[in-house]
Structure 1
């Protein structure tokens, strides 16, 4: 039997709690002979001790493993001399060094979860936001200019190669899905600010070129300011949304808010050869070590990992395990077995994890 080596970085704050919960669930669903987790150092606390947020041995393990599972990184007050947070640099370094160009953020309203949007039900909100992950405004990190404390500038970077590949990724993803909940149409929406900035007009133009290669998929456009309205007023219209790095970051958090919050927001950062999987939430150091964080975003990120590995390796065992975990999470939420605090309940991290494990066991009977 194949064993997939998974590099695991617990990180900071609630990272160790949610990451270890996810590995429990993944091992339970797949078996220890299918997945092998290797824990490694990294994060803001590690930087505070050693001066390295991503040690080289951790990077090499991540590079050589089948996938990377990450908890969360970042601590208040642990910053670089320029004032930027150290924790974010862990996955930013991995993004750039492993060329993880597509950040995939599913937005799905689950049964048993009440949306802050009035009258929206499970199944009516189900789309994916794809961020270009290595360019855009965030490409300036570490390279911007602060001129004598009077003027600060950062430069947006958008290349034809970068847009083409993330656009092709988005159209290919739409082909795998069932279309938008409203009308079943497979649709890629380009989110930009093409009416104001040349860089975004270029982003849109390249997406239009790629769309001509995918005539079975509808192409749609929305300015980012309008998108913040549309995701609240008509979220069922969307299937796949593709955006520049910063815009994608912003609208994915808005999307998460409409389906219950960041605790239900998984994330995958994908390249041609590597994948990093983590909940889209932060490290929440204010509740770290209290066993109150929800592990669901990290568990669901684990299902994204299994699906990605299954597709890469043609291994149906992995995709079957991913479906079982999703079904177990769905049952826990729908039946209210263990409602985490961010969804209005009182279940601890351990209690939510145990509830998912019980559902996996009952489904196997």
Structure 2
């Protein structure tokens, strides 16, 4: 009897449904080629549209489905002009991270063609690292605080706990151990100024003793921003606090072609959500010009995380199909100077994906 994976699909807002639908199409294309695996796709409405309809951006039924799922595939969410009464942006993806304890924001960064980077002298695969962002606390811990706009000051709490720091650091070291990389984990902190970062570094160093086969090092966050531009090829796995990770992951995406090339997985002990790192881009919604690559790469991350031989094979085939297409710098959507639509570039990936899953590994 085939193993059934319950996958919850949350389409999102803006371009979210457009790119998410294309990744679902790839899942449907690969399904007949997988032996002993079937996908049960369970769609739910969340985000701004759902908030406007029902008053809830993350209905209980959708959350319960996520809780019971094997994995969640999530399209970009939020629209900047639709906010809660307290002025904050509607972001159910943050609620999912906190409620499901998705503590590890895993952000792979890979260069597919030298034409995609603003840096000189870097070819395919020469920029290849993973940023692991602690996603449940840090400076985001105080995001529910409401500022008194008539007061003389406003503050937010930066929270670093031992338990959260230990688990995200272990995830970073385990990621480095699995990768075919430099076997190095770099802690990004601000321990020369903030006592919370001194504590974070202390916990990191304790966890590092459990992974003697992996090199551990420290870099201050401001220096890390410089080094990412000057020598990104030196990094393997980076681990950092929530806000620092939020900022550096955008910078890192810019090194390889932009947010449309930046996948992510929010990983917990018992659940995982996979989504592109980019926003909902309402200015281009409905035009079929959105770049779906980050969504497709996130789908590959999900398939690998499911950890079945056939889903891992599917992940490898999808990653290879994407790399095949992107090896030709003319095969790009408008955000990267090309003229392919969201559907057209997915068509090219789908063609190569099908051939690879059928055992034809020669690029089309």
Give the TM-score normalised by the residue count of structure 1: 0.94
Aligned counterparts of 1:23 and 1:113: Cα–Cα separation in 2: 29
Q: For residues 188-234 of structure 1, what are the alpha-carbon distances to aligned partners after superposition, in whole Å with 9 as ceiling and x for unaligned?
A: 00001000000011111110111111111111111111111000001
Q: For residues 217-258 of structure 1, what are the alpha-carbon distances to aligned partners after superposition, in whole Å with 9 as ceiling and x for unaligned?
A: 111111111111000001111110000000011001100000
Q: Match for residue 18 of structure 1?
A: 19
Q: CA deviation at 1:75?
A: 1.1
* SS of the residue 1:100 aligns to: coil
- Residue 340, structure 1, aligned to residue 333, structure 2: yes
- Residue 106, structure 1, aligned to residue 108, structure 2: yes
Contact 1:69 1:302 in 2 (8 A): yes
Q: Match for residue 5 of structure 1?
A: 6
- Residue 57, structure 1, aligned to residue 50, structure 2: no
Aligned mate of 1:351, from 340, 344, 348: 344
Deviates more, 1:352-361 or 1:138-147: 138-147
Structure 1 alignment gaps of length 5 or more = 180-184
Aligned counterparts of 2:218 and 2:69: Cα–Cα separation in 1: 38
Q: Match for residue 28 of structure 1?
A: 29
- Residue 291, structure 1, aligned to residue 293, structure 2: no
Corresponding pairs, count: 354
- Residue 322, structure 1, aligned to residue 324, structure 2: no
Deviates more, 1:346-355 or 1:144-153: 144-153
Correspondence list, 1:105-184, <5 A: 105-111=107-113, 113-143=115-145, 145-146=147-148, 148-179=150-181
- Residue 78, structure 1, aligned to residue 82, structure 2: yes
Aligned counterparts of 1:146 and 1:193: Cα–Cα separation in 2: 28
Aligned counterparts of 2:148 and 2:318: Cα–Cα separation in 1: 48
Q: For residues 112-154 of structure 1, what are the alpha-carbon distances to aligned partners after superposition, in whole Å with 9 as ceiling and x for unaligned?
A: 6431111111121100000001010001111354363431111
* SS of the residue 2:75 aligns to: strand
Aligned counterparts of 1:104 and 1:196: Cα–Cα separation in 2: 26
Aligned counterparts of 1:251 and 1:282: Cα–Cα separation in 2: 16
Aligned counterparts of 1:344 and 1:145: Cα–Cα separation in 2: 41
Contact 2:275 2:295 in 1 (8 A): yes
Q: CA RMSD in A?
A: 1.4
Aligned mate of 1:247, from 240, 244, 255: 244
Aligned mate of 1:258, from 255, 263, 268: 255
Aligned counterparts of 1:234 and 1:336: Cα–Cα separation in 2: 23
Q: Match for residue 94 of structure 2?
A: 92
Aligned mate of 1:215, from 184, 205, 212: 212
Contact 1:75 1:283 in 2 (8 A): yes
> For the structure 1 residues 191 and 112, does the alpha-carbon distance in structure 2 shift closer, same or farther, using more than 3 Å as the test?
closer
Aligned mate of 1:187, from 184, 189, 213: 184
Contact 2:276 2:295 in 1 (8 A): yes
Aligned mate of 2:193, from 191, 196, 199: 196
Contact 1:9 1:39 in 2 (8 A): yes
Structure 2 alignment gaps of length 5 or more = none
* SS of the residue 2:145 aligns to: coil
Aligned counterparts of 1:197 and 1:144: Cα–Cα separation in 2: 24
Structure 1 segments (4+ residues) deviating >6 Å: none
* SS of the residue 1:153 aligns to: coil
Q: Match for residue 182 of structure 1?
A: none
Q: For residues 30-56 of structure 1, what are the alpha-carbon distances to aligned partners after superposition, in whole Å with 9 as ceiling and x for unaligned?
A: 339611211101001211222101000
Q: For residues 272-295 of structure 1, what are the alpha-carbon distances to aligned partners after superposition, in whole Å with 9 as ceiling and x for unaligned?
A: 010000000000000001111011
> For the structure 1 residues 193 and 112, does the alpha-carbon distance in structure 2 shift closer, same or farther, using more than 3 Å as the test?
closer
> For the structure 1 residues 121 and 103, does the alpha-carbon distance in structure 2 shift closer, same or farther, using more than 3 Å as the test?
same
Contact 1:111 1:330 in 2 (8 A): no
Aligned counterparts of 1:72 and 1:133: Cα–Cα separation in 2: 17
Aligned counterparts of 1:107 and 1:195: Cα–Cα separation in 2: 27
Give the TM-score normalised by the residue count of structure 2: 0.94
